[in-house]
Chains A and B, each alone.
Chain A
Amino acid sequence: MIGTLAHGAILVSLAVVAFGMFFIPFAIKRGRRDWVALAYSAVYTNFLLITLATVAMVWALVTHDFSVSYVAQVGSKATPLFYTIISLWGALEGSILFWAWVLAMYAAAVVWINANRPGNLVPYAATALMGISLFFGILLIGPADPFKPVFPVPLDGPGPNPLLQNHILMAVHPPLLYLGYVGMSVPFAFAVGAMLSGEVLTDDWIKITRRWTLSSWGLLSAAIIAGMWWSYEVLGWGGYWAWDPVENASFMPWLTATAFLHSVMVQERRGMLRLWNLNLVVGTFVLTILGTFLTRSGIISSVHAFTTGTIGYYFLAFIAVTLLVALALVAGTSGRLKDENRFDAPASRETVFLLNNLFLTAFMFTVLLGTLFPLVAESVRGIKVSVGEPFFNRMSLPMIVALLFLMGVGPAMPWKRTSMAELKGKLLPPLIGATVMLVIAVAFGARNFYALVTFAFVGFSGASNKFEIWYGIRARHRAHGENYLTALFRLMAGNRRRYGGYVAHLGILTVALGIAASSTFRTETEATLKPGDSMTVSGHTVRLKQVWGREEVQRSVIGATLEIVKNGTVTGTIEPKMNFYPTSQQPVPTPQVKSSIAGDLYANLQAFRPDGSSATIRLIYEPMVPWIWFGGMIVVLGSVLSILPTRSRA
């Protein structure tokens, strides 16, 4: 019943969206702004209808309405309410519905915020957004229909994928990811709008686009970090990034969006790189769709890949159409874009931005190539190959260290030209920072070449960005006599974008530091313990107290209680578990992590004797892992700072 209603809502929304999409260009041709306003109501109506369908799905999930196909697929009466609600994005059809809803929300927000803006940029952008909505609407009535009627109605369902109902971060990571990922549709829509309306010749559209890109970028950054955190807390191997295709899929648009956020400054300052920036915006969007295709079509296996079907062909067709339209528009525009094409001197921030863009896009290319290569190799040679972590680490490390270095050089380099004297003065603190970090790393026993370079460059760029903020504070202190704290706040408020950028840099550097330290100094050990036995990893001793079992509503749990022993006294316990779900033959590892600012003690239950006489424990000490999550929060803070409008300068 509710399924039919929701299905109907989606059908109507398709008609509404198709109408709006074709009516807006028509209204513009006729010069009728009132018709455009009418078409905007199609955007709002679509949002309402998709909201209705989404609410209906949540309702069906919560009430265990197994006559709805999606509920029959992922629901179960035993699943706790919380995990029932978030199973909305736990499988293919629900996630497409959620995607359509986020997209409809963005479209409504874009139109709402910019409704009174003169010119044809926003109407055409709305057209593009409705085009994308149309595609997702077609998926929802075709290959990803979540509201298919089921008959006979089953009494109960299997419940969500065990991996997805094992941790609370599943409520955080996917929504953030969709908000960031789908948000990249908005800059794309504005790029299309700019090209169709001719506003691409002015740089005003880029200001709107930049802000939307920044917010999506911040959300995507948070989503990627939350995904790392989830994988660390759930998968039981003590790592947070495995270059899994779906991780790559979320990372590639992040790289091109990061490139855009930097090169767009060259366009604003110097009126250059216009064509390049258009390509970055289009490329970022296409990468989000391509990434979804790769992980959702089942052609590449992944932790997150859902069931296969015909949906891959729809995505391929959509990618082809998008590329054709975008390339035709870009080709038509390129002749009209007249760039200034003049640099004052090679040693300038402009040049650093060019290098930054080179390494970010080459990085994206490497990840794309590595992700697709197994497919290519199989079709060319007929032999399956794997392209995994060792490949990606080897190929990306040189680019990562180059980017870490540039992150320190860029802020220290002024626009236009740099005098040697100025540069010398500015380079001193970063060089000291690099030396200090290098000495500390060597003292702790780091010998790996890339690890040492990473630590040095983190020190270099960390000092550089901090000192840029400090120079600003000092200048205010001297000029206005403000105390340092007031100067800091006024500085940030006065030029949010610049200092928000430096804060984001510091966040990324903190993440890099956490990754470098945890992968360099990680120590692990595995042992089979009887109750009373102990094991030690880099000075941390745990003693097995007991192995126990417990029945919960939706699963059975086996746990091992380990006491953390310091100098003969018990200071705490750590309790890794294995969760057995009825639908899954493999138990879901549930490691436990004891975090401190210095590092994590990570325990995973690898195996156990059913009689409780022994347990095999993998115990890992990973220094500075919490710095990665903390760094992610700093990145988000930096992007929030940059998005907020700048108040008039004091």
Chain B
Amino acid sequence: MRRARQGLVALSLALSLALILPRATAAQQAPAAARDTQMVTPEGLRSNASAKATDPALEARTSGVASGLRCPVCQGLSIQDSPSELSQQMRSLVRDQLAAGKTDEEVRAYFISKYGEWILLEPKASGFNTLVYALPILVVVGGLGLILTLVRRWTAVPADGDKT
């Protein structure tokens, strides 16, 4: 009985931790999609079109930034996912800027200056926007607290005792 209750406390702690963890691991969330582009002509020569894809590290960074930017002509797709022509152009812009030595943050800032905050698919967690991140966590933590209290109260009632 007591062990079970401790277990429940541990479980809720673990779960609230799990909710906060994604912030910490966000850096590792870069897409796993390896872009192993290899374009070969019949003679076994690299064609010019594959030149853009020679650097896998650059490609990984490009897709990392691109998947956080919204395709302006689509409905909610990132420029990484969208097959539209504009997205392809924006993607090569991201690639060019990264290749020119800009940081991921600088590239994002460039797009914000062009389109406004709207271009980010995920709002920055600062100021008013914090609400959208904080409220769900509050609901879960508050709900876990409520369940803990209720279960404790309900198990304390004797078999045919008072109905609270």
A binds B: yes
Interface on A for B, CB 8 Å cutoff?
235-239, 242-245, 301-303, 338-347, 351, 354-355, 358-359, 361-362, 365-366, 369-370, 373, 377, 380-381, 383-391, 394-395, 397-399, 401-402, 447-451, 519-530, 532-538, 586, 589, 604, 606-607, 618
**Whose C-beta in chain B lies nearest to the C-beta of A244?**
B76
In the A-B complex, the 5 residue pairs with the closest CB atoms:
A388-B121, A390-B122, A347-B4, A528-B49, A384-B118
Report B52 CB to chain A, min CB distance, Å.
Answer: 9
Report A403 CB to chain B, min CB distance, Å.
Answer: 11
Note all chain A residues with C-beta closer than 8 A to B128: 377, 380-381
**Among A347, A384, A533, A607, contact of B39 (Cβ-Cβ < 8 Å):** A533
Taking A303-B75, A448-B32 as contacts, is the C-beta distance between A391 and B123 under 8 angstroms?
Answer: yes
Q: Is the interface of A mostly helix, strand, loop or mixed?
A: mixed
> Do A535 and B18 touch across chains, with their CB atoms under 8 A apart?
no
Taking A347-B7, A388-B121 as contacts, is the C-beta distance between A402 and B15 under 8 angstroms?
Answer: yes
Note all chain B residues with C-beta closer than 8 A to A519: 32
- Inter-chain pairs besides A346-B152, A391-B121, 10 sampled, C-beta below 8 Å: A303-B76, A340-B163, A351-B147, A370-B132, A377-B128, A390-B68, A527-B53, A537-B36, A606-B88, A618-B83
The range of chain B's interface size is 35 or more
Note all chain A residues with C-beta closer than 8 A to B1: 345-346
Report 25 cross-chain contacts, Cβ distance below 8 Å, ordered by A residue. Answer: A238-B81, A346-B4, A354-B147, A369-B135, A373-B131, A386-B76, A390-B121, A391-B122, A391-B132, A394-B26, A395-B133, A398-B15, A402-B18, A448-B28, A449-B21, A520-B32, A521-B32, A526-B35, A527-B37, A530-B47, A533-B39, A533-B47, A535-B40, A589-B83, A607-B88
> Do A358 and B147 touch across chains, with their CB atoms under 8 A apart?
yes
> Do B76 and A388 touch across chains, with their CB atoms under 8 A apart?
yes
**Whose C-beta in chain B lies nearest to the C-beta of A301?**
B75
Report A531 CB to chain B, min CB distance, Å.
Answer: 10
A592–B55 alpha-carbon span in the complex (Å): 29
> Do A342 and B76 touch across chains, with their CB atoms under 8 A apart?
no
Contact of B157 with A by CB under 8 A: yes
A528–B88 alpha-carbon span in the complex (Å): 13
Note all chain A residues with C-beta closer than 8 A to B53: 525, 527
Report A244 CB to chain B, min CB distance, Å.
Answer: 5
> Do B22 and A394 touch across chains, with their CB atoms under 8 A apart?
yes
> Do A383 and B122 touch across chains, with their CB atoms under 8 A apart?
no
Contact of B82 with A by CB under 8 A: yes
Note all chain A residues with C-beta closer than 8 A to B25: 449
Note all chain B residues with C-beta closer than 8 A to A344: 155
**Among B39, B83, B123, B159, contact of A377 (Cβ-Cβ < 8 Å):** B123
A402–B77 alpha-carbon span in the complex (Å): 27
Report B38 CB to chain A, min CB distance, Å.
Answer: 5
Note all chain A residues with C-beta closer than 8 A to B117: 383-386
> Do A386 and B140 touch across chains, with their CB atoms under 8 A apart?
no
Contact of B129 with A by CB under 8 A: yes
Report A472 CB to chain B, min CB distance, Å.
Answer: 26
Taking A341-B163, A386-B123 as contacts, is the C-beta distance between A532 and B33 under 8 angstroms?
Answer: no
Report B105 CB to chain A, min CB distance, Å.
Answer: 15
> Do B154 and A343 touch across chains, with their CB atoms under 8 A apart?
yes
**Whose C-beta in chain A lies nearest to the C-beta of B17?**
A398
Contact with A along B63-87 (1 / 0, CB 8 A): 0000110100101111001111100
A33–B129 alpha-carbon span in the complex (Å): 57
